Chain A
């Protein structure tokens, strides 16, 4: 008798536990009330976040949002991870890195958005085909693709002019043209380096050197696809060799630079997204081109890395009904428009260029990026995503940056380890 009671109690507890866990669509998908959200602490996004929260709160006195800032960058994953474990994560974080999704999902920290009856349709309706890249391996959406910063090559017009290169239309389409051009720029002392992506060892640094060119070279392939590493093939080798040449000839710097190398004139080029336009304003007279490929694909066929940040709902959230409504509100056409206006980053909605014609007419600089936003590649949404990136980075750093191993061999070795990691999950 006693044992049955104990078993029953255990069963009840487990059911209750499952109810508040991430996996099961609990009855609280409809619950409404106050919620907490976190957004990134950079000035522009804070300004957007504040007006969004104010606009919502003005109309929903009984379901108020309270908002807090968390820093972008290195410590944000740690902060979110700790909050998930302690069960005090907020309802929504408007700053969730796609690379962390698989980890948070494994922790049971996320609410699949398919739980909501209009979840999938809303998400796919808003983002279009791009949404597919954000689906997790179990076929569910644990993140709403929010905004991207498709990276392109910025170049310093003055530095190019100094080397006698046409600053309005510099030859940078093929890898060879690119190399020839930057050799001239550096030789003419247009800048000390052609380009200076952070040569340090953090797992995410490859997103801003290897990955955009890899995306372009392969016509939109991810680093890992169908449980297999894709980077050790022909395209990956070409890209690695391209960067190896830059490093070997000292056209790219092997040392980290404190500050912004492009803005300070230390490097003649940079690989950055549209957020940087406002930073370079008044500092550099710049032009922008897509990343190069070996064959010189036309600009309208070039893919690049998206550098996206997304919104995810966390399983500690009680009032999920409200959270879902807020999520839809904050990513509505109107709020996306405000976001674009305030930050210059691209909302991940289909046809962003045609959705806000007035804005792009007034801000032609951003139009190029809006066009590029249609062809972006995300980090693969697989288990052990960060381990995979760190493995790749270590091999890349050793071979491409420091030349202590043949890049081809290093990539193959890394690919074997990545295959293993990808198949384990």
Chain B
């Protein structure tokens, strides 16, 4: 117990240091690859790397695109993914084993194997080139999240469901009133883990649309990085600044949401 706080602190240092370094590096006018470069030097600090990004990228537009892309994926996953996860965990129906195997299979397949056939399918068969929908489609329901949901629904005590069913509640209302409130932390986990994929994805949205009006932030940043990497005053700083810009909303979202992880059970547990 006494060791926990210092140990966590040391761990946090290990996890935060690269991020800290990224922040410092993004503020440097000249790259400093020496050990001293890990500390802020007053003469070497500048906002220039950020100003350059701001000048090169329409941040508002690309953030909006990222929002639509990511939001679409989260919406799809939270609605249809939760339904599927619940059914797979708690309901007996024909084909359940098959669906579960299919889900596992999709998890296992490396995306690089499917990229080009998937692209041909989405562009030619579905005609979704240059659209938000085309960006969203392959990610629309995150199978990892479905898997996560299923696992947490499985963890709930069966008696609860039996009791509700005996009371004559419909499956949907059991899901809505009994199951979902109990797995709220898992749902948040689902949002957070679903968020990262489309947020950081750049190859797929770029394949789908070369129209800059529709490109999300990750695509714009990675385009920016390939062009400036050799030319900016501090190319490494530019890369790091780009990464900070991309990471900031994700970290912000987490800071806002992580409070929800504190369940009341544990709050009261503390007093005991």
Give the Cβ gap from B116 to chain A, nearest Cβ, in Å. 5
**A85 with B120: in contact, given A68-B210, A264-B31 (CB under 8 Å)?**
yes
Using A78-B203, A82-B115, A86-B119 as known contacts, say yes or no to A259 and B31 having CB atoms under 8 A apart. Answer: yes
Q: Is B271 an interface residue (CB 8 A)?
A: no
Residue of B whose beta carbon sits closest to that of A82? B119
Say yes or no: A71 contacts B226, CB within 8 Å: yes
Q: Report A-chain residues with C-beta under 8 Å of the C-beta of B31.
A: 259, 264
| CB–CB B227/A42 < 8 A | yes
**A284 to chain B: closest CB distance in Å?**
13
Q: Out of A38, A68, A88, A278, name the residue touching B129 (CB < 8 Å).
A: A88
Partner of A70, one of B115, B120, B210, B231: B210
Is the beta-carbon distance between B231 and A279 smaller than 8 angstroms? yes
Beyond A71-B222, A82-B115, whether A260 also contacts B210 by CB under 8 A is: no
Q: Which single residue of chain A is at the shortest CB-CB distance from B30?
A: A264
| Count of A interface residues, CB-CB < 8 Å | 27
Given contacts A38-B210, A79-B206, A259-B235, contact A85 B116 (CB under 8 A): yes
A425 contacts the other chain (Cβ, under 8 Å)?
no
**Cβ-defined contact, A75 with B206, below 8 A:** yes
Tell me whether B231 and A43 are in contact (CB under 8 A): yes
Q: Which residue of chain A is the closest to B228 with respect to CB atoms?
A: A43
B259 to nearest A CB, angstroms? 37
Tell me, in angstroms, the Cα distance from A82 to B206 when the chains sit together.
Answer: 11
A189 CB to closest chain B CB (Å) equals 15
- Cα A423 to Cα B203 in complex, Å, equals 35
Q: Which residues of A contact B227 (CB under 8 A)?
A: 41-43, 71-72
Asked if B236 and A69 make an inter-chain contact with CB atoms under 8 angstroms apart, the answer reads no
Residue B211 CB within 8 A of the other chain: yes
The one of B33, B123, B212, B223 that contacts A71, using a Cβ cutoff of 8 Å: B223
Across-interface contacts of B120 in A (CB, < 8 A): 82, 85-86
A95 to nearest B CB, angstroms? 12
Tell me whether B207 is interfacial, beta carbon within 8 Å: yes
Q: By the criterion CB–CB under 8 Å, are A41 and B230 in contact?
A: no
Contacts of A88 in B (CB 8 A): 123, 129
Contact-size category for B: 20 to 34
Cα distance, A276 to B206, chains bound together (Å): 27
The reply to whether the CB of B124 lies closer than 8 angstroms to some CB of chain A is yes
Among A123-180, those with CB < 8 Å from B are none
Q: Would A41 and B119 be within 8 Å (CB), given that A79-B206, A88-B129 are in contact?
A: no
A75 contacts which chain B residues (CB < 8 A)?
A: 203, 206
Q: Is there an interface contact between B223 and A279, defined as CB atoms closer than 8 Å?
A: no
Chain A hits for B123, CB < 8 A = 86, 88
Q: Residues of A contacting B119 with CB < 8 Å?
A: 82, 85-86
Residues of B within 8 A of A85 (CB): 116, 119-120
Interface-centre pick from B31, B226, B236, B239 (highest chain A CB count, 10 A):
B226
- Residue in B116, B211, B239 whose Cβ sees the most chain A Cβ within 10 Å: B116
How near does chain B come to A389, taking the closest CB pair, in angstroms?
20
Nearest A residue to B211, CB-CB: A68
Q: List B contacts of A219 (CB < 8 A).
A: none
For window 245-273 of A, CB contacts with B under 8 Å fall at 258-260, 264, 266
Complex-state Cα separation, A75 to B201, whole angstroms: 13
Tell me, rounded to whole Å, the shortest Cβ–Cβ distance linking A48 to chain B. Answer: 14
- Inter-subunit contact A73/B226 (CB<8 Å): yes
> Which residues does chain B contribute within 8 Å of A321, judged by CB atoms?
none
Q: How far is the CA of A79 from the CA of B208 in the complex (A)?
A: 10
Q: Hey, what's the 0/1 contact readout for A82-96 against B, CB within 8 Å counting as 1?
A: 100111100000000
Q: How far, in whole Å, are A266 and B31 apart by their CA atoms in the complex? A: 12
Taking a contact as CB atoms under 8 Å apart, the answer to whether B203 and A260 are in contact is no
In the bound complex, what is the Cα–Cα distance between A73 and B230 (angstroms)?
12
**Given A259-B31, A259-B235: A86 and B124 interface contact (C-beta under 8 Å):** yes
Interface string of A37-76 (1 = CB under 8 A from B): 0100111000000000000000000000000111111010
Q: How far is the CA of A72 from the CA of B119 in the complex (A)?
A: 20
* B219, closest chain A residue (CB): A71
Which of the listed residues B33, B119, B129 has the most CB atoms from chain A within 10 Å of its own CB?
Answer: B119
CB of A235 to closest CB in B, whole Å = 31
**Docked-complex contact A260 and B235, CB < 8 angstroms:** yes
Alpha-carbon distance between A87 and B129 when the two chains are bound, in angstroms: 12
Interface residues of B in 183-233 (CB under 8 A from A): 203, 206-207, 210-212, 222-223, 226-228, 230-231
Instruction: Report the nearest A residue to B117, measured CB to CB.
Output: A85
Known contacts A79-B207, A264-B31, A72 near B235 by CB under 8 Å? no
Interface centre among B129, B203, B228, B230 (most CB of A within 10 A): B230
Report A282 CB to chain B, min CB distance, Å.
Answer: 9
Contact across chains for B115 and A72 when beta carbons are under 8 A apart: no
Bitwise, B106-117 to A at CB < 8 A (1) or not (0) is 000000000110
Smallest CB–CB gap between A261 and chain B, Å? 10
Give the residues in chain B near A72, CB-CB below 8 Å: 226-227
Contact with B along A275-296 (1 / 0, CB 8 A): 0101100000000000000000
Is A108 in the interface zone, CB < 8 Å from B?
Answer: no
Q: A13-53: contact bitstring with B at CB < 8 Å (1 yes, 0 no)? A: 00000000000000000000000001001110000000000
In the assembled complex, which residues on chain B have CB atoms less than 8 Å from the CB atom of A82?
Answer: 115-116, 119-120, 207
Mask, B121-148, CB within 8 Å of A = 1, is: 0011000010000000000000000000
A residues lining the B interface (CB < 8 Å):
38, 41-43, 68-73, 75, 78-79, 81-82, 85-88, 258-260, 264, 266, 276, 278-279
8 contacts between A and B (CB under 8 A): A38-B210, A41-B226, A43-B227, A68-B210, A69-B210, A82-B116, A85-B116, A85-B119
11 further A-B contacts with Cβ under 8 Å, apart from A43-B228, A264-B33, are: A41-B227, A42-B231, A43-B227, A70-B210, A71-B223, A71-B227, A78-B207, A79-B206, A82-B115, A88-B123, A259-B33
Identify the 7 closest CB pairs spanning chains A and B, nearest first.
A68-B210, A86-B123, A259-B236, A71-B226, A82-B119, A42-B227, A86-B120
